[in-house]
Structure formats: C-alpha cells, structure tokens
Structure 1
Amino acid sequence: MRVSTITAALTTASLASARIIGIAAPSTLAPNTTFTLTLLTENYIQTVADISVAWGFQLPTTANPTGYPYTLGSFADSAYLGPNKSNTLENVTISATVPAGLASSSWAGKDVVLSAGVHSLYGASGGPVVTGFNVTIKIGEETGSEGVRSQGQGWVENGSC
C-alpha cells in the first residue's frame, strides 16, 4: 500500500507542468545598471515550452496607460529561456540591463512601462503563443529594492488568424 502511494505521488510530481503568468521588476530603475527581471510562474494543466522573453520600455499615454498593445517599445532586448528555464514552478530570473538611453530628459524621472513578451509552445502539439505582460516603473538615479508585479496578461497572440 505504501509503495503504491509513493509511486502515485512520484508519478504526479514528474507530470507537473507550469507556465509563465507575469513579470516582476524593481519599481525604480537607474539607466546603465542591471536588474533582475523575474518571470512569475504557476502550476498548469499541460506542458509549456518557453522559448524566449523579449522586453522593452515605453512611455505611457492617456489613451494607453499600460503601453501600446502588442508592442514592447524602445530599447528592446531578449533572452533565451529553453529547457533549463521552462516548464518550472520556480520563478525564472533574467539579468537585464537598463538602457543608458533612458537617462535622457524624455525618460528620466518619469513613469515608464516595462513590457515583456514571452514566446511559448503549448501542449503536445506545440501551439505557438506570445503573451505580453506590463509593469509601470520609474526611471530614477538608483535601482530600488521594492518590486512591482504585472496584473494579468497585457495581451496574447496565438496561431488563430
């Protein structure tokens, strides 16, 4: 009886799947410094192979306070995720650089939208999806320790035409 219980638990553990559900970053970022971009994860019903994440910065507008839909903005950068940083219940951390260009008067001291797009393949059929997440941060003189988290998805683009 004990062996079957342990076997069932191990089987369930090995079938655990996860997906990325958001991003987190320091609430204040200083130009020309590095920061940790955290990809937030949760348990999910099927396997998700995360391929990459790309991110950028944009100024919010009255019409688009969380940035323009389906865009990353200026100063785009990216990181490969692959099998080592995919389908895990542990949050994924990426070392990212705040572009030096954010020190200009157009950006410095302002609220800025940090947008990220995660490219993933869902399920056994490998359905491609790009999911966007946004957080509002401030461009300051020092990168802060307080964090901000995205709330839900900014946008989703999949294979439907």
Structure 2
Amino acid sequence: MRTSALLAGLSAVAVSSARLIGISAPSTISTSENFTLTLITENYIQSVADVAVAWGFMPIPGYYGSLGSSSGSAYLGPSKSNQLNNVPIEAAAPSALTVGNDYVLGVSLFSLYGASGVPTTTLFNVTVTIGEEMSEETVSSS
C-alpha cells in the first residue's frame, strides 16, 4: 500500500506543469546598467514549452499589441519552461531613452501549449521610469 501511494505521489510530481503569467521589473530603470526582468510563473494543468521572450520600450501611452523599439530578446527553452520558480532574465534599456520620462516596457512571450504544441504569443507590459539609478521597488503586470 505504501509503495502504491509513493508511486502515485511521484507520478503527480512528474506531470506538474507551470506557465508564465506576467512580468516584474524595477519601477525605475537606468540606461547605464542592466536590470532583471522577472517572468512570473504559476502552476498549470498542462505542459507549456516557453520558447523565447522579446522586449521593448514605448513612450506613454504605448500602442496595444506593440513592443515599441525592441531592445532585446532571450531564448527560454526547456531549462526555463514548466518550472514554478519565477524566471529572471538579464535585460538592458536603450541609451536613447530620456531620463525622467515614463515608458511602457512591453514584453512578448512565444510558447507552445500542451501535447499538440499549440503556438501562442502573449503580451505583458508595465510602466517604468528612466532614472539615473535603478530602484529596488518593482512593478508587476499581474
């Protein structure tokens, strides 16, 4: 009986899945240093293969469905998919952004959902301020 309970528990762990549901970034970003763009995860009912993420900055109010001026991208792949820990990405803001102004940080995530590998693109955004120094305070889309 104990063996079957243990095997049932282990099989449940093996099929655990997660998906990315939002982003978090410092509320003030400096163009002179990299910042951590955090991809926020949650438990999910099926597997999700996160392929890549791209980000860009737009002047306020931004344009729905757009990343603005693209400033970076990162491959995610198997090592950063289906995990319940938030995923940190090292990112940078373009030096052309004006200190003291607010911008929309737009992020696009490309993922493949389920056993059929259904492709999806999900957009997230937060408003950040460009400053001389990075803030410890963060803003989140979720």
In the superposition, the TM-score normalised over structure 2's length comes to 0.96
Match of 2:89 in 1: 94
Q: Is the 8 A contact 2:55 2:67 kept in 1?
A: yes
> Is 1:142–2:133 an aligned residue pair?
yes
Consecutive unaligned residues in structure 2, runs of 5 or more: none
Per-residue deviation, residues 62-117 of structure 1 (Å, max 9, x unmatched) = xxxxx211110114310000000111111111011121111xxxx32011110100
| Aligned counterparts of 1:75 and 1:115: Cα–Cα separation in 2 | 9
Q: Does residue 111 in structure 1 map to residue 102 in structure 2?
A: yes
Structure 1: distance between partners of 2:33 and 2:93: 5
RMSD: 1.0
Segments ≥4 residues shifted beyond 6 Å: none
Shift of 1:18: 0.7
Return the structure number with greater strand share. Answer: 2
- Total equivalences in the alignment: 142
Q: Which runs of 5+ in 1 are unaligned?
A: 62-66, 152-161
Provide the C-alpha distance between the structure 2 equivalents of 1:124 and 1:97, rounded to a whole number of angstroms: 34
Q: Cα deviations across residues 97-156 of structure 1 (Å, max 9, x unaligned)?
A: 121111xxxx320111101000000011111100000011111100111111103xxxxx
